[in-house]
Amino acid sequence: MTPSFKTPRARVGEPPIFEKGAPGRVGVSLPAEDVGDVPLDLPPALLRKVPPLLPEVTEPEVVRHYTRLSQLNASIDTHMYPLGSCTMKYNPRLNERVARMPGFALAHPLAPEGLQRGLLQILCELGLWLQHVTGLDAVTLQPAAGAHGELTGVMMIRAALKDRGDARRKILVPDSAHGTNPATGALNGYEIVPIKTGPEGHVKVEAVRAVMAQDVAAIMMTNPNTLGVFERDIKQIADVVHQGGGLVYMDGANLNALLGVATVADFGVDVVHVNLHKTFSTPHGGGGPGAGPVLCVQALAPYLPTPVVVGPPEAARFDHDRPKSIGKVKSFYGNFGMLLRAHCYINELGAAGVMQVGRDAIVSANYVRAALKGVFELAFDAPTMHEAVFTDKRQKEHGVSTLDVAKRLIDLGFHPPTIYFPLIAPGALMIEPTESEPKETLDEFVAALKQIDREAQETPELVKNAPTLAPARRFDEALAARKPVLRYRRQGSGT
């Protein structure tokens, strides 16, 4: 097959910038100094003993070096990122242009409220739109990521239970939830009670009822879960938890699969976070920072972080008078640039477009699932929402593992999907095509995986030694994780 992109190989062995240049070379011309030397009044311990190790290079050397490195990058601007759970979708350029408008980009967070009317209106509108999407009553836009939103939501649950004199000590977490869920509960001082996923890929009501007790503060459920399966019993599970005096937290990281399909409030959820990068196209990872708004029912609204933006949008203002608030969780009012991008995305799509996102995400995932069924083993043979989880069970018969498949995909022009997660699916290949990819790209991706399956049967050593066409070969990932090299050393210098 023809790869969907080709990796430039002209300068595969691009050395570090520190190994370029020669003494005396410069890349800038500066005017002559017009002031004399100014002594630095610093303690000697803070002063360098030797000059910093900086490369001496010309402007062409600098430009060519970083341009070559950029051509070796994998990015959402160059090809598909089928990362399950992480949802690496395309970031529309309109969002970026709006975020760079001077009125937004140069706004100072300490400016008087009267000079921030436009920004407050945007925050208020975004909050109202998220309330409409989830069906919940109140919102904070402060949290800086999904996991930060989880922390905020569980802090609110803890404060509410304490306020009613019913502090509890356990949180229920299914094994199909995101890994941050048990970490969040533990960070809030709760004991985590795991719940096993049923044979069809979702949590059974009976499993929750068996562990529900008077010391359970809440259940944290990811829906759709990390298997890409909809938790179809979530309303009945919520009823069981509520009857026992607990609250229901939903990890809304996979909300993109619910847009226009289902409403969170109808599940009996008390609090949910929304990952704006996963559902509303704000940059992810190194392109961040992130944003993880939290929405809740009215009973939890008093505990939202302060300040809360209150409306109407055209007269929006900060409300600091929240005596039961858990306090601030982020400086100022969150990462405004990310919130602005999400506002732009929703405003551009409109209600019909936002609803279409959910449908397209589901269709794309099920298209890939159907095309690869019988080639790769399905972790659970259940209908897929936004992502499909396969395993390497069939390829293992030929000595080829999930890691091998992922590395061979690089040779064929695709960033690998998420691998070895979720943990309840041994040898997992977690694929999320997102709604941004056209059918032609999905067909190329499916063809690449089918080719790898044939190679696993006919020439397994080729797959096991991949990648062979990438700028770098396979690394010792375990060694890199345990003994990372974080400081550059010039060869032969010892520094």
pLDDT given for residue 432 in this prediction: 96
Contact between residue 81 and residue 88 where contact means Cβ atoms under 8 Å apart: yes
Q: Rounded distance, CA 72 to CA 257, Å?
A: 32
Q: Is the pLDDT of residue 12 over 60?
A: no
Q: Rounded distance, CA 386 to CA 365, Å?
A: 5
Q: Is the pLDDT of residue 319 over 90?
A: yes
For domain 359-481, which CATH number applies: 3.90.1150.10, 3.90.800.10, 3.40.190.10, 3.40.50.720?
3.90.1150.10
- DSSP 8-state class, residue 16: P
pLDDT given for residue 88 in this prediction: 87
Q: Rounded distance, CA 387 to CA 309, Å?
A: 34
Q: Model confidence at 306, in pLDDT bands (50, 70, 90)?
A: very high
Domain regions of the chain by residue span: 94-347, 359-481
Q: Is the pLDDT of residue 44 over 70?
A: yes
pTM of the model as a whole: 0.88
Q: Rounded distance, CA 270 to CA 250, Å?
A: 8
DSSP bridge pairs for 378: 390
Question: Which CATH architecture group holds 94-347?
Answer: 3-Layer(aba) Sandwich (3.40)
Encoding tokens for residue 152? 């905020």
Q: What is the dihedral of CA 387, 429, 421, 281, to 10 degrees?
A: -40
Contact between residue 25 and residue 55 where contact means Cβ atoms under 8 Å apart: no
Q: Nearest CA to 493 among 53, 100, 85?
A: 53
Q: Nearest CA to 247 among 238, 235, 256, 257?
A: 238
Q: Model confidence at 11, in pLDDT bands (50, 70, 90)?
A: very low
Contact between residue 220 and residue 318 where contact means Cβ atoms under 8 Å apart: no
Highest mean pLDDT among 35-39, 108-112, 169-173: 169-173
Q: Rounded distance, CA 142 to CA 158, Å?
A: 18
pLDDT tens digits along 417-437: 999 999 999 999 999 999 999
CA–CA distances in Å: residue 4 to residues 70, 178, 254, 410: 18, 31, 27, 11
Q: Is the pLDDT of residue 448 over 70?
A: yes
Q: Rounded distance, CA 365 to CA 370, Å?
A: 9
Q: Nearest CA to 406 among 160, 154, 70, 81?
A: 81
Mean pLDDT of 197-218: 96
**Largest Cα–Cα separation, the chain:** 79
Q: Is the pLDDT of residue 3 over 50?
A: no
Q: Rounded distance, CA 168 to CA 162, Å?
A: 8
pLDDT given for residue 361 in this prediction: 95
Encoding tokens for residue 369? 């699932």
Q: Model confidence at 226, in pLDDT bands (50, 70, 90)?
A: very high
Average pLDDT of the chain is: 92
Encoding tokens for residue 256? 């993109």
Q: Is the pLDDT of residue 78 over 50?
A: yes
Residue predicted with more confidence, 37 or 407: 407
